[in-house]
Amino acid sequence: MKKNLFEMGADFGDAWHSDNKEKSNPTNTTQTKEPSKHQLHLAKEKRRGKIVTIVKPFYLSTHDLQALAKTLKKRLGTGGTIKDNHLEFQGDIPEKIRQTLETMGYGFKT
């Protein structure tokens, strides 16, 4: 650690740092669950005047989540993307998404 010229008698030692730029990395839980064990939640957001439907949280591997997003985009006829552990779809289509995912065996919160 660099010596701070303007310290006023404070000794930080090895356990303390004068700058807070060192952040601890959160542990990502990448546990996978089968579709019937999921408790999904639907949300809508307005971005740049357009509505985006969000479905979260998915507990799938990255490859499985990409495959699921691809099938849903084809079935729904809309665009979408993957962010962290949730899917975002263009448009106000929560009922279509719910019906499609329920037929695939996914569960929703009531």
Condensed to tens digits (0 to 9), the pLDDT of residues 79-93 reads 999 998 899 999 999
Distance of CA 85 to the CA centre of its chain: 4
Pair 69, 55: CB distance under 8 Å: no
- Residue 61, CA distances (Å) to 29, 30, 65 in order: 11, 7, 6
Question: What count of residues does the chain have?
Answer: 110
Q: pTM value?
A: 0.68
CATH says 35-103 is which class?
A: alpha beta
Q: Give the start-to-end residue ranges of the domains of the chain.
A: 35-103
Report pLDDT digits (tens) over 28-87: 555 788 877 888 899 999 999 999 999 988 888 899 999 999 999 999 999 999 998 899
Instruction: Provide the token pair at 12.
Output: 């930080």
